[in-house]
Structures are given as C-alpha cells and as structure tokens.
Amino acid sequence: MMKYNTGSGDLTNWIVEEAAFTPKFQGKCEAIFCQGNGYMGVRCATEESYTNQVRNTFVAGTFNKFDEYDVTELPNAADVTALDIWIDGDLFSLDKGSFTNYSRTLNLKTGEVVRSFEWTNRAGKTFAFAFRRFMSLADLHTMALHVSITPLNESAQIEIQSGINGQVSNSGAQHFHEGEKRIFDKQHLQMLQQTTQSKITFVHNATHSVVAGNETVGSRFAMDRRKVYMIYKADVQASQTLTLEKISNVYTTRDLTHEHLSLDELRSASIADLIASAGRGYNALLAESVAAWAGFWQQTDISINSQRDFDQLAIRFAMYHLRIMTPAHDSRMGVGAKGLSGEGYKGHSFWDTEIFLLPYFTYTFPEIGRSLLEYRYKTLGGAHKKALENGYKGAMYPWESAWMDDGEVTPVWGAADIVTGKSTKIWSGFIEQHITSDVAFGVWQYYQITGDEDFMERYGYEILLDTGIFWASRLEWNDERQRYHINEVIGPDEYKEHVDNDAFTNYTAYWCIENAISYYQKLKAEKPAVFARLNEKLSLDVEIPVLEERLAKLYLPQPTAEGVIPQDDTYLGKQIIDLSKYKAQEHVGSIFHDYSLDQVNQIQVSKQASVVMLMYLLEHKFGPEIKRANYNYYEPKTLHDSSLSLSTHAVLANDLGDTTLAYELFRRASEIDLGPGMKTSDHGVHAASLGGIWQIVVCGFGGVRMVGGKLRITPSLPEQIDAIQYPIYWQGNRLNVSVSKQDVSIVNETKKSAITLIVKDNEYTFTDELTVHL
C-alpha cells in the first residue's frame, strides 16, 4: 500500500512511502524505489529474501550477449544488498510471525531509502528493525547499507550472513564467468567477474562493521560458488542494538575514468577506496551524496500548487528517476527503456530517449541532453551497418540500441501467440523505422533550444544529413500514384504491423529529408570547413540532389473529408469492435487474451498515440481542427497499452483547450509507476512515461514549446492546478517560469531580466516581446 503524504516540513511532497508490505507486490517498490546515479542502478529488493523477488544491480553500458541466439543486454551484476538474518537460528522473514509499524520510504530529496518495522517472531520475541541504504551521487561507485536490530523484550542470538553474491542472473541468463574471490585482512571482500562475451571485468568490493551494544561482533568468512561472504554472530541483550554497516563499491574495466589502470591497479585502487569510504562511515558518505542531490534539485525542481499534493510528488518522482537512470557521466551510453530499474527491455535505448526523455534534459540539463545525443553519434557505426544489411544508404538507426557498434539489438521472439501457441515474432527490429527520424528530431530540437553550435559541428549536422540520406534511399516508387511510398513498416502504433505509408513514418521522413537539404544548404553557404569535411564523408553533393528529387514526390497521407489523416493505407478500412472491455482493464495487453497479433492487425485498435504523436512533434504542420478531428477519431481506438501514450494525449488535449481531459490524462500518466496500482512496475519503471510527466507539466500545462526555432510559452492550467513554477534553459539562459491563473512571470536568471504577463479572460496574452527579450 502506497502512501504519498508522509513528508512534512522540509520534506513535504518529497517522500514516497510503502506503508504496508505484501510480498506479492514487492516488484512495485523494487522498481519505483530503485536507487542509483546513472553509473549504476540497484533495484530496491528487501535485504531479506522472498520468493519471486527480483534483485538487480546494473552498471550502465556493460552490455553482454549470453549466446548467439540472444541479444545483448545489461547483465545483472553480483549483489551486495541481500542479507540472511537468522534470529535464534530461524531465518528472518516478514512472512513469519507478525509485524507492525511497517514503513519503507524513498526520500526523493536525498536518494535514501529507509525501512523500519517491529517484528515479533513465533516465540513472542519482538525486535525493532531499521534498514537504510543509498547509492552515492557524489561517488558513483559507492553504495552503503546501515542495519539496526534491537531485541525489545528478550535477548536473542542474531546471525547475519552478508557479502557479494554472483549467483544472480538475468532470469536465468548468466553473463559472468565465476571469477576470482578474495578476502583481504579477514574482512574486506573482493570478487572479480568478467562478462562472457564483451569481456568487461567487474570489480566488486564490500566491507562491514558490526557492533552489538558497544562491542565489535566476531566474524568468520566463507566462499561458495560465485559467492564470498562474512558471517557475524552475536548474543544481543534486550534493548541493546546490533548495527551493521556495509560499504560496497563496484568498478568495471569499461569505466572511462579508470581506463588507464591495469586490472591489478584497479583492484588495489578500488580496495583502497573501499577502506577509505568505510573509514568515513555511512553518515558521512550519505552527507556527501545528499549534497550532490541538493545541487541537482536546485537546478531542476518544479513546484506545482495543486489541489492534489500527489502532483507535486509525482513530478519530483519523475525527475528523481530521470536522473538515476541516465548515464550522464559517459556519452558512450544511452538510457534504457526501464532505466536501470529492471530487466525489462534489457537496458536497450529506444525512441523513448529522443521523444520522451530528451526534452527534459535539453531544457533542464543541456549538457546531459548533449551527452545522450553524442551517444547516438557514437552508434552511427551500428546505424550504417543496419542500413547496409537492409540495402539502404546512410544512417538507419536500430530500433533498440545497446553498445556503440552493436547495431540492431531488438529481440526476434516475444510472448506466446494465443492461436498458434508459438512465440510471436517481434518485427520492430526489422521494420519499425521511424526511430531514425526520432533521433534526427532530437538533434534538431536540442540545437534549436540550446544553440549549441559546437555540438552541431562535431556531431549534429552529420546525424541530420546522414539520416536524411537514409530516408531518401528507403523510399519505394509507386507507379500507380506516381509517388514515393514507404511500405511494410510499423509506426508508433505497434498493433499494426507491415503497413504501407504509416502517417507518422512518412511525415517525419519528409521532415527529415527536408531538414537535411536545408542544413546542407546552410553549411555550404555558411560553414565551408564543416561542409567540406561532411561532403567528403557523406558525398553530399551527390546525395542531396537525390533527396531533393525524392522529397518532392514523397507521398504524405492527406486528411479525409472529416479531417482524419489515415494512420496508414488500410487502417480506416479495418473492422471496428467494442474495445470497452480492454480499455477498462488494469493490465495492459489484455486484448491478447482474446486475439492474436494477426487478428489485432485487422481491427481499428491502436496501442498508443501515432497520428496524435505526429501532431505533437510537428505541430506547426497541422491546424487545430485537424488536430481535434484526429484526436477525437483515434483516442477512442487507443488502448494506451504503451506507457508512451498518455502523456502525448495529455499535451494534445491541453493544446486543444480541454484542460479537464488533459488533467485526467496527466493523473493517469503520473500514476503509471508512482500510483496505487501495485503490479504496473514489476519489470522496471517506465522511463518514457516519466519523461512524459515532465512534458505534460512543462510543455502541456506550462506551455513551453520550441516552434520553428523560437521559444513559445503558452501556459494553460487545468482547474485542479493553481500555479506551477519551473526552470528551463533557453539558448544558455536560465529562465524561471511561474504560471498562475492570474499571471505568468518569466525571470531570466542569467541576464537578470524579467517579464510578467497578465491573464485576461482565462487566456494568457503573449507578445513577440517574450522571444525578443530572451
């Protein structure tokens, strides 16, 4: 059971609480209480173990491929979070005996998780337990755990086994060699494990300090297969406290910061770091991390004055996760669709990054936005490989992306088909091609918002040109229509496979080619050195005329008489069925209990926003009537079976003036992970949805939009929200935007200027002055 109003005083709307523990719902808080720092992410599995628990530790970018049949994935690294606690010889578990005052809190401000309860065992002895842990934001390699156990009414023997456990796997797939185990000075544990295919060595270290009353508790150490651990045993008197402090760190040979070290040097350095950290102790290490978090929140915090406090918590929750999932420290790495919070989607990056996450970073932490786009630049090798394999030119980005040169890593087989009983083939890796436009869009948007010419010259222009070249090569001539088609694709609506002329794909491809042509012209005219280099590399003078010829003849699906743009060539002719049963379901994908994917393909039902998404991204291309017509047509046919769907609909509803609906969609989007539904986040948090929450607040209610290279701020608050305040960066200027129902104030903190706009008749009036002044 989740509780959202636990924080008070300074911590009001900063605390997420799990106020009751139910093992069947443990996946929820494992994922949403995930801790990390972008370097690593550790799922918040409880220290004691339960059946069906998922205990994950991921280090960003350390991809490994289990075998030739599998795709590469982020391996689940050796665990240091599990403790076996034996009370009077019985393994402690909340399933046994009874407990009261259970509370587990995630403090979004500090990144610390605290869990406490009183537990009475079957012999009637009661104990107070408290667990605290964090992954440091100040030292990306370090995590710390603090446990205290106090027998309240009778003395007890307490034994704790704690160490480094490499028996974990990714649902059975083992990515590591067993490796070498070592205990230094009878207390400092070390385990080295190399990944089987990518040959990345992980160095894990852990050390403990265990005290009962005022006395150090005696220990033994032991090794088992893939395990090295300590055993502490003490007789603890009633009202005495046993405390265990466990400091751990992890380094890998993929770390940029340690590339210059040999493995032996890395082992020694990491053990030295461990001993130094342990010397400072849990509270001092926490203070360093909290200071780093304070810097983060100072730059990013948003205030929402809502009738529902949850909204304030939800936006902070979203930004907390956006930070811990993102490898800001290393531009060779992308963001996984589940961040680092679960095995779902294997740590791969999707279009989620550019379309859902990137706007947050571009507007708030431009340097992180840049890093994520540099990652795409560094994966161009894989994109070229994919294009060549498919008979195309240029950069054809992989639908799922992992390490730099991996290319396409989408798995080929998925869940069971209801009709055939076979695994369903996943076609996205072959034919979901709009990802290439999405990446280009992210680059262009970043450039427009930041004006980062250095980025563009080094990386950005090349991506824009190379993706344009891909699209031109991808087109297929249709004799009948005398137009270029894009056949046999999947658009954003993945419930329609093998369609021709998916509107989203065709329109964004058009945009992409058009953009490439225009930057070609600009570079040629304005930046001869850059042009020369790229012309040499990409044969622009040969390729761009082709783009020009094809662009003019690229087919763009046109609105029907009712203003509806056909999602693809056949969608509007398909069967319409009653979808209310599936729209009402708590679990996504329920339509597959009744229909196979082939059957769903024949119905006017969509997984998520597709035409609607197009109208959000290229909003200047479509007027309000067209937007409304399409929204009204497609939304009822959309099951929102993707977490990417709600935020887009929310922003569009807000754009269309339906703030009531927008707020309702915001509410639903903000509850996907954080809400009271206890089964939604088992495989990890929904990264894109969290980015979408930020977009609803800032781009939807807050009205921020980059249109044609200009900043437009047209806020529109729903009834439930009285005011919001958010920071954004625009062209290097930090703006603090305050929106209330009375006025909008924009303070340019960089230039120390400010403007205020007054609301009239519930409509904000803007002048060009805004953009001029900025």
What number of residues does the chain have?
774
Q: Which parts of 471-510 interact with a copy of itself (CB under 8 A)?
A: none
Q: Which parts of 396-455 interact with a copy of itself (CB under 8 A)?
A: 415-416, 421-423
Rg (CA), the chain: 27
**Residue number with CB closer to a copy of itself (89 or 124):** 89
Query: Rule CB under 8 A: is residue 586 a binding residue for a copy of itself?
Result: no
**Residue number with CB closer to a copy of itself (224 or 389):** 224
Query: Which residues have a Cβ under 8 Å from the Cβ of 322 and sit 6 or more positions away?
Result: 357, 360, 361, 687, 690, 691, 694
What are the strands of the beta sheet with 733-740, ordered from one edge?
303-306, 721-730, 733-740, 743-748, 753-760, 763-764
CA-based nearest residue to 346, from 355, 357, 336:
336
> Alpha-carbon distance 600 to 583, whole Å?
15
Q: Which stretch binds a copy of itself (CB under 8 A): 163-171, 400-408, 630-638, 728-736?
A: 163-171
Q: Which of 9, 52, 391, 558 contacts a copy of itself by CB under 8 A?
A: 52
Q: Which stretch binds a copy of itself (CB under 8 A): 171-179, 442-450, 626-634, 725-733?
A: 171-179
Q: Name the DSSP class of 679.
A: S
Shortest distance (Å) from residue 228 CB to a copy of itself:
7
Shortest distance (Å) from residue 420 CB to a copy of itself:
9
Alpha helices by DSSP H, listed for 656-732, are 659-674, 687-695
CA-based nearest residue to 646, from 664, 629, 633:
664
Query: Rule CB under 8 A: is residue 598 a binding residue for a copy of itself?
Result: no
Is 351 known to sit in a ligand binding site? yes
**Residue number with CB closer to a copy of itself (180 or 548):** 180
Q: Which stretch binds a copy of itself (CB under 8 A): 218-226, 292-300, 484-492, 761-769?
A: 218-226
Q: Which parts of 228-287 interact with a copy of itself (CB under 8 A)?
A: 228
Site string for a copy of itself, 363-402 (x = CB under 8 A): ----------------------------------------
At 593 the three-state DSSP class reads: helix
Residue 632 pairs with which residues in a beta bridge?
A: none
Query: Rule CB under 8 A: is residue 223 a binding residue for a copy of itself?
Result: yes
Query: Rule CB under 8 A: is residue 221 a binding residue for a copy of itself?
Result: yes
> Alpha-carbon distance 280 to 277, whole Å?
5
Return the amino acid letter for 144: A
Query: Rule CB under 8 A: is residue 581 a binding residue for a copy of itself?
Result: no
Query: Which residues have a Cβ under 8 Å from the Cβ of 211 and sit 6 or more positions away?
Result: 217, 242, 243
Sheet strands (E) in 610-709: 704-707
> Alpha-carbon distance 89 to 159, whole Å?
8
CA-based nearest residue to 648, from 580, 606, 700, 702:
700
What's the Cα-to-Cα distance from 755 to each of 520, 739, 748, 770, 771, rounded to whole Å?
37, 12, 8, 8, 11
**Residue number with CB closer to a copy of itself (70 or 664):** 70
Encode 449-505 in three state secondary structure: HHCCHHHHHHHHHHHHHHHHHHHHHHCEEECCCCEEECCCECCCCCCCCCECCCHHH
Q: Which stretch binds a copy of itself (CB under 8 A): 180-188, 307-315, 433-441, 623-631?
A: 180-188
Query: Rule CB under 8 A: is residue 594 a binding residue for a copy of itself?
Result: no
At 17 the three-state DSSP class reads: strand
Query: Rule CB under 8 A: is residue 124 a binding residue for a copy of itself?
Result: no
At 305 the three-state DSSP class reads: strand
Q: Which stretch binds a copy of itself (CB under 8 A): 224-232, 486-494, 502-510, 571-579?
A: 224-232
Return the amino acid letter for 638: T
Query: Rule CB under 8 A: is residue 178 a binding residue for a copy of itself?
Result: yes
Q: How many residues bind a copy of itself (CB under 8 A)?
A: 50
Q: Which of 9, 10, 51, 761 contacts a copy of itself by CB under 8 A?
A: 51
Sheet strands (E) in 349-418: 413-416
**Residue number with CB closer to a copy of itself (537 or 587):** 587
Query: Rule CB under 8 A: is residue 588 a binding residue for a copy of itself?
Result: no
Shortest distance (Å) from residue 346 CB to a copy of itself:
10
> Alpha-carbon distance 684 to 673, whole Å?
9
Shortest distance (Å) from residue 450 CB to a copy of itself:
40
CA-based nearest residue to 338, from 353, 359, 316:
353
Q: Which of 180, 514, 548, 664 contacts a copy of itself by CB under 8 A?
A: 180
Is 768 known to sit in a ligand binding site? no
Q: Which of 27, 61, 111, 166 contacts a copy of itself by CB under 8 A?
A: 166
Is 511 known to sit in a ligand binding site? no
- Other Cβ atoms closer than 10 A to 477: 11
Query: Rule CB under 8 A: is residue 226 a binding residue for a copy of itself?
Result: yes
**Residue number with CB closer to a copy of itself (160 or 368):** 160
Query: Rule CB under 8 A: is residue 224 a binding residue for a copy of itself?
Result: yes
- Other Cβ atoms closer than 10 A to 654: 27
Is 695 known to sit in a ligand binding site? no
Q: Which of 19, 49, 585, 755 contacts a copy of itself by CB under 8 A?
A: 49
**Residue number with CB closer to a copy of itself (591 or 662):** 591
Query: Rule CB under 8 A: is residue 117 a binding residue for a copy of itself?
Result: no
Sheet strands (E) in 508-576: none
Query: Which residues have a Cβ under 8 Å from the Cβ of 714 and sit 6 or more positions away?
Result: 703, 705, 764, 766
Query: Rule CB under 8 A: is residue 529 a binding residue for a copy of itself?
Result: no
Do the Cβ atoms of 337 and 688 come closer than 8 Å?
yes
Query: Rule CB under 8 A: is residue 593 a binding residue for a copy of itself?
Result: yes
> Alpha-carbon distance 381 to 376, whole Å?
10
Shortest distance (Å) from residue 591 CB to a copy of itself:
14
**Residue number with CB closer to a copy of itself (14 or 25):** 25
Shortest distance (Å) from residue 481 CB to a copy of itself:
41
CA-based nearest residue to 316, from 717, 699, 735, 13:
13
Shortest distance (Å) from residue 201 CB to a copy of itself:
13
CA-based nearest residue to 373, from 467, 251, 514, 492:
467
Q: CB burial class (10 A; 0-12, 13-18, 19+) of residue 62?
A: buried
Q: Name the DSSP class of 218.
A: P
* Active-site residue flag, 494: yes
> Alpha-carbon distance 222 to 230, whole Å?
6
At 21 the three-state DSSP class reads: coil
Query: Rule CB under 8 A: is residue 69 a binding residue for a copy of itself?
Result: yes
Site string for a copy of itself, 182-201 (x = CB under 8 A): xxxxx---------x-----
Q: Which parts of 76-95 interact with a copy of itself (CB under 8 A)?
A: 84, 89-91, 93, 95
> Alpha-carbon distance 414 to 734, whole Å?
45
Query: Rule CB under 8 A: is residue 120 a binding residue for a copy of itself?
Result: no
Element at 362 (helix H, strand E): helix 358-364
**Residue number with CB closer to a copy of itself (413 or 477):** 413
Shortest distance (Å) from residue 129 CB to a copy of itself:
17
**Residue number with CB closer to a copy of itself (67 or 479):** 67
Q: Among 494, 497, 543, 635, which one carries the catalytic annotation?
A: 494
Q: Contact positions toward a copy of itself, by CB under 8 A?
A: 23-24, 49-52, 66-67, 69-70, 84, 89-91, 93, 95-96, 166-174, 177-178, 180-186, 196, 220-226, 228, 415-416, 421-423, 593
> What residues are labeled active site?
494
Binding residues for substrate: 351-352, 607-608
